A and B are shown apart, each in its own frame.
Chain A
Amino acid sequence: MVLKVEHELHHRRRGRNLGLGLVLVGFVAIVFGLTVVKVLGLGDIRVIEGADHVASPTQEIIAAERAAAEAAGAGEDGE
């Protein structure tokens, strides 16, 4: 009897492994796509950064802008 190395069973198993592999790749693609879409849809990033109450560069810029605007406003009131 000649031993066959490749049997139909192996093809079926390979098909199953390939199928599962494609499902996993698809899942990675979906999570990646969702991440991109959600992050791009966040709007003004400064709002998110402010959520943890920790000073951050963009928060400092906002604070500086606000202070400048208030100073300008006070200047206008004084005239």
Chain B
Amino acid sequence: MSDASLTDDMTREAGFGDFVSLLKPRVMSLVVFTALVGLIVAPGDVHPFIGFVAILCIAIGGGASGALNMWWDADIDARMRRTRGRAVPAGRIAPGEALGLGVGLSGFSVLMLGLATNWMAAAWLAFTIFFYAVVYTIWLKRSTPQNIVIGGLAGAFPPLVGWVAATGSMSLEAWLMVALTFMWTPPHFWALALFVKSDYGDAGVPMLTETHGRPATRRHILLYTLALIPVALGLGFTSVGGPVYLAGALVLNALFLRGAIRVWRRDDAAAEADRYAAERGLFKLSLWYLFLHFGLLLVEATPLAGALQWS
């Protein structure tokens, strides 16, 4: 073996961090937060350790679907600048290893969640992984510009899984939390798509900005925002909501609607002029929007806010 080939092999070998990166830790943080809120605001007591294990299982299940996504999308990732350095397209991890890790951790997380809490929660976690890895990644991502909308549903399930883990059953509140994240995802991603120069087109992934044009994307952002508002406010009138949540949600939704209208009313020439300030602003606001809505639900679950509860 020559020195050159030795060096080549060595730079390719994956470290532990490469396997962790397959689980998409940043996406995981959203999954952990929303699942935790779903678990905490649900009625009934969950032993803290069981709650911890449940959240861990949901996080690992989310990570497993991320690994499956990286396995299937390695060809797309290799063609886009943003994702070229990921472990599979960069050659540090073989596609088969990513598949093995994804399938293994999926089975493991579902089994452990079932044993720790209940089998309905485990079934919903399995469905979430299936939905993200198969329905979104394999079937729809490359075939429809509505991919963001459908993919958002997979990202919306964690609070439901958390709720079912705590209660063993579903409820209107849990589904409204799902609907909140589901309706929030399209405006959030499309605002990003407007100001980030992406190369999805080169990779053959249909994005709304490229298939239907940017004005249509601006219109879609406003339409989804209009559909999002009743969901966000409606949650305030359920058992998990309350005056604190509703007051915060009113402000956040007013700001979000204002941002969406600003983005809708201008064209790309105006956006270029101020370097996409409105689009960037809406994207940044959307991050706070989701975080604060779930944060307000947590506040409502504390004894302090309980005194102000709807009677």
Contacts and interface: CB of A to CB of B under 8 A. Distances in A.
Given A33-B49, A41-B47, A15 B116 contact: no
Interface string B42-53: 000001011001
B66 to A, nearest CB: 17
Interface string B40-77: 00000001011001001000000000000000000000
A44 to B, nearest CB: 18
A33 B50 CA distance: 9
Nearest to B48: A37
Contacts of B14: 16
Contacts of A18: 16
A15 B17 CA distance: 9
A30 B51 CA distance: 12
A9 B16 contact: no
Interface string A33-51: 1100100010000000000
Interface string B109-143: 00010011000000000000000000000000000
Contacts of B47: 37, 41
Say whether chain B's binding surface is mostly helix, strand, loop, or mixed. helix
A9 B49 contact: no
Given A15-B16, A16-B16, A18-B16, A34 B10 contact: no
A18 B115 CA distance: 27
Contacts of A7: 10
A19 B116 CA distance: 24
A20 B14 CA distance: 13
A12 B13 CA distance: 8
Nearest to A23: B16
A60 interface: no
Contact of A16 (B15, B53, B112): B15
A8 B115 contact: no
A45 B13 CA distance: 52
Interface of B: 10, 13-17, 19-20, 47, 49-50, 53, 56, 112, 115-116
8 contacts: A7-B10, A9-B13, A16-B14, A16-B15, A16-B16, A20-B16, A30-B53, A34-B116
Given A30-B53, A30-B112, 8 more contacts: A7-B10, A15-B15, A16-B14, A19-B19, A19-B20, A34-B49, A34-B115, A41-B47
